[in-house]
């Protein structure tokens, strides 16, 4: 499907743990689709806020999400880069976008723990601006919290792509 030629705005959303490739993919899609990319981590870095300040992170994510809905309502396509670990969050975002007449595409990043840790270790070592340093212990804590989408959920999106 050539999303550049659709008249409906596009919500590109992501589902994946840290280190899975969400930002790399989002930056590529930003260039090919013209969609506006919303990235909480980059905003936190720009505002010089501790990445692990959960209260601020939640408020910022909610504000960016509301801004994204305003953009969709005005016909602009957006990329929401947050990991959307829970089914409830994915359901809410999909329903909101569909209510606004947007096409909703999910990118699901399904990588093994070992591959995620390999990527995170490299990212941590590079110290790239705007990336959250994640320890192996944090990844072990996050791993069971991540609710992977099943086929029934994936079928509710206009389309989806699984990255392995």
Asked whether residue 46 is domain-assigned, the answer is yes
End-to-end C-alpha distance for the chain, whole angstroms:
21
Residue 130 has pLDDT above 90, yes or no: no
CA distance 60 to 101: 25
How much is the pLDDT for 44? 93
Q: Tell me the pLDDT tens digit for each residue of 14-35.
A: 999 999 999 999 999 999 999 9
Chain segment 75-123, per-residue pLDDT in tens: 999 999 998 999 999 999 999 999 999 999 999 999 999 999 999 999 9
Structural domain total, the chain: 1
Residue 41 has pLDDT above 80, yes or no: yes
d(Cα 108, Cα 155) in Å, to the nearest integer?
13
Identify whether 4 is part of a domain. no
pLDDT averaged over every residue in the chain: 93
> Do the domain assignments include residue 18?
yes
Phi, psi of 96 (to 5 degrees): -60, -45
How high is the pLDDT of residue 132? Answer: 85
pLDDT at 126: 87
Q: Would you tell me how many other CB atoms lie within 10 Å of the CB of residue 99?
A: 11
What is the domain-level CATH number for residue 120?
3.40.50.300
Residue at 2 is within a domain: no
In a domain, 45, yes or no: yes
- Portion of the chain with pLDDT greater than 70, in percent: 96
**pLDDT of res. 105:** 98
User: Which residues, including other chains, have CB under 8 Å from residue 135's CB and lie 6 or more apart?
Assistant: 124
Q: Is residue 1 part of a domain?
A: no
Predicted TM-score (pTM) of the model is 0.90
Domain boundaries, position 42? 9-163
């Amino acid at each position: 499907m050539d999303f550049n030629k659709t008249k409906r705005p596009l919500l590109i959303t992501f589902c994946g743990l840290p280190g899975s490739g969400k930002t790399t993919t989002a930056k590529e899609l930003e260039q090919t689709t013209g969609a506006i990319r919303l990235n909480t981590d980059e905003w936190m870095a720009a505002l010089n806020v501790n990445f692990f300040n959960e209260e601020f992170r939640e408020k910022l994510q909610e504000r960016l999400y509301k801004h994204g809905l305003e953009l969709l309502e005005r016909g602009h396509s957006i990329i929401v880069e947050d990991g959307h670990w829970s089914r409830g969050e994915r359901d809410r975002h999909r329903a909101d976008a569909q209510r606004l007449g947007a096409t909703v595409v999910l990118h699901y990043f399904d990588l093994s723990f070992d591959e995620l840790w390999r990527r995170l270790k490299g990212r941590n070592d590079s110290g790239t601006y705007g990336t959250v340093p994640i320890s192996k212990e944090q990844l072990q804590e996050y791993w069971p919290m991540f609710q992977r989408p099943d086929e029934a959920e994936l079928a509710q999106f206009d389309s989806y792509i699984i990255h392995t």
